Amino acid sequence: MKTETSPSTTLDDTFLYRFHSGEYQMLNGNGTDLNLKNIINFKNGIPGFENLSKFIIVPLKEYPPFYVFQSLEDPPIAMLVISIKYFESQDEIAVDKIDLVQIEANHQNDTDIYFIIKMSNENNQFTANTKAPIVVNPEVLEGCQVILENQKLQIEHPLDLA
C-alpha cells in the first residue's frame, strides 16, 4: 500500500481520493474524476477513530461482494467491509432504537448495514465482525458503528466465499 502526505493520497492502483475545489473526488486508475456525492457523516466517528467523521463506502467491482469503507479526512484509514445482504442470519442483527435515532432512521429496514472484514495471515481465512456493524441511513447519509448485545454474534464470524 502506497501512501503520500500531499492533498492527494494514493491507496492502491485503483483508488485515489482527493479534496479539490471544495469537494471530495475519487480518481480511477486512468485519472478520471468520479464525484463522491455519497459522503457519510459519522457524528461521533467510529471506535478508535473518534476524530474522523467523513467516510465513503465504495464497491470493489473486481471483488464482489466487498466494499471499501474509507475516511476522507485521513485516506489511509480504509477497511474492507461486506453488506449484511450476504448473510443468512440477518434476523439476528437488531440495532437499538437509540442508535437508529442517532442516524435519523425510523426503522432498521431504512438502513444499510456492513460488517468489517479481517483476513487471517495464518490461513487466509476471511472473518466478519458481526458484533459491531457499521449502520448507515442512506437517505440522509448519517452513519454509526454499534456494538450489538446478541451473544450469538461473533467478532470473527468465518466467511464462506465459495
CA distance 56 to 130: 20
Do residues 11 and 27 make contact, with C-beta atoms less than 8 angstroms apart? Answer: no
pLDDT in tens, 112-132: 999 999 988 888 889 999 999
pLDDT band at 89 (very low <50, low <70, confident <90, very high): confident
In the chain, the percentage of residues whose pLDDT exceeds 90 is 54
Structural domains for the chain: 8-158 (2.30.290.10)
Let me know how long the chain is. 162
Q: Is the pTM of this model over 0.85?
A: no
User: Is residue 95 predicted with pLDDT exceeding 80?
Assistant: yes
